[in-house]
Amino acid sequence: MTPNSSGDPSRWQPSTLAIHAGEERQKPANAISDPIFCSSTYTFADTQAVIDFIEKKLPREEYGRYGNPSEKVVERKLAAMEGGQEALLFSTGMAAIVGLLMSRLNAGDEVIFFDECYHRSREFCVKHLSRFGVVTRQVRACDYEAMEAAITPKTRLLVSESPTNPHLSVVDLERYAALGQRHGIETLIDATLGTPYNVRPLAAGIDYVLHSATKYLGGHNDLLAGVIIGSAEKIEPVRKLRGILGAINSPHNIQLLLRGLKTFELRMQRHNENGLAVARFLENHPKIERVYYPGLETHAHYEVARRTMRGFGGLVTFLVRDADWRRTAAVVDAVRIPRIGPSLGGVESLIEQPLVMSYYECSPEERRCFGIPDNMIRLACGIENASDLIADLDQALERA
């Protein structure tokens, strides 16, 4: 760790940023915590105050759909944590990516995805943006040559997760950013699984970073939120569209996120430790066919992950050996600590069978296309003791 002898906030370490960045040193009523502003509108002292606000001479709020004082604190904090100029908070991660896509794409434009992506993001583009004349192309994850070959003069945006969900493929961010820059195309990385602690997409030259703040940033499975981070110039049109769409957070939800961020680094350290310990245990278990985790030397993108990530997160995906979907479900049902449910990144561990939780209505052919076999389990390790999680998995595998 490099000491910050100057006390310069731009050189603060992750916990210091998560706790103090974006906040005023002295707050209303001299409280140490930011207040919750439960107000739908904000009044003006006189007409001149309204004019000063319109002419941007008076930094303040006007109406709840356009902003909340606590929201500004969270946005400044998240921008500092990610190393970006501005962050824009949304009601959910899906609202964030929809807001960005709607603000950047017009009829006739094209967007290219690496195919290992959240299925709802893909669904929005394929089923809904297509109705407005936007073309979506998908290429194999981390196949940069295929992505470059798919680029046309109409391509406006390249989109990927890193790591991907649930396969945990890791994008070479500098190579991906250079591809976009070479063709004058903007790039987006959904770094929800990576977090600002483990990966730094903006530093690698990526234009936009997306997070479902519902996950690791909030950290307690008790809120929904999303954020887009980038340069002030690029974020401004997205902010204006958000003001029209109204995809905003409630004051109490903002406060939950602000509080959750205070323990961000401590939680991520435990998530990273638990994920690696569980992945190593599973890799050596006779009833496991394969483990997807970028911190394992056997992972296809281990060298990229080792070079570009501080840690590898708490999400572990694995295949149960010689199991059909029912026997795989029996493993999920047999655990005692993780709860069965979607999502990840909270203090409580969650477990799911992707076939059932997210792809049950898909045909076997579609599931094969998406890389979702019947014997796949996704485990989102929380911050429980790793030894307890491992013992629980061991007994579940023995019983199933």
Query: Which pLDDT belongs to residue 4?
Result: 65
Domain-embedded: residue 32: yes
Task: For the sheet with 86-90, list strands across it.
Answer: 86-90, 226-230, 208-212, 186-190, 155-161, 110-114, 135-139
Same-domain pairing of 97 and 228: yes
Domain-embedded: residue 110: yes
Domain-embedded: residue 305: yes
Domain-embedded: residue 79: yes
Query: Which pLDDT belongs to residue 71?
Result: 97
- Point out the domain boundary residue: 261, 289, 307: 261
- Point out the domain boundary residue: 261, 289, 318: 261
Same-domain pairing of 26 and 83: yes
Same-domain pairing of 250 and 273: no
Kindly give, in sequence order, each residue whose CB lies less than 8 Å from that of residue 370, ignoring residues fewer than 6 positions away: 115, 119, 359, 362
Q: How far apart are CA 315 and CA 123, in angstroms?
A: 23
Q: The domain spanning residue 334 has which CATH number? A: 3.90.1150.10
pTM of the model: 0.94
Query: Which pLDDT belongs to residue 1?
Result: 47
> Which amino acid does the sequence have at 191?
A
Domain-embedded: residue 4: no
Q: In this structure, how many other beta carbons lie within 10 angstroms of the beta carbon of residue 251?
A: 18
Query: Which pLDDT belongs to residue 366?
Result: 84
Same-domain pairing of 322 and 377: yes
Chunked into runs of 10 residues, the chain (400 residues) has average pLDDT values of 64 94 93 94 96 92 94 97 97 97 97 92 93 96 97 98 96 98 98 98 98 98 98 97 96 97 98 98 97 97 97 98 95 98 97 90 85 95 98 94
Q: Identify the H or E element spanning 88.
A: strand 86-90
Same-domain pairing of 163 and 54: yes
Q: How far apart are CA 132 and CA 137, in angstroms?
A: 15
Same-domain pairing of 239 and 291: no
- Point out the domain boundary residue: 261, 288, 318: 261
Domain-embedded: residue 2: no
Q: How far apart are CA 386 and CA 381, in angstroms?
A: 9
Query: Which pLDDT belongs to residue 313?
Result: 98
Kindly give, in sequence order, each residue whose CB lies less than 8 Å from that of residue 72, ignoring residues fewer than 6 positions away: 22
Q: The domain spanning residue 44 has which CATH number? A: 3.40.640.10
Query: Which pLDDT belongs to residue 357?
Result: 86
Spacing of C-alpha 129 from chain mean position = 22
Same-domain pairing of 309 and 227: no
Same-domain pairing of 17 and 58: yes
Same-domain pairing of 217 and 296: no
**How many independent structural domains does the chain possess?**
2
Same-domain pairing of 297 and 213: no
Same-domain pairing of 243 and 315: no
- Which residues constitute the domain of residue 386? 264-399
Listed in sequence order, the DSSP H helices in the chain are: 14-20, 47-54, 69-82, 93-104, 119-123, 144-150, 173-183, 195-198, 232-245, 251-261, 264-283, 302-308, 325-334, 354-357, 364-370, 386-399
Same-domain pairing of 211 and 274: no
> Which amino acid does the sequence have at 12?
W
Domain-embedded: residue 3: no
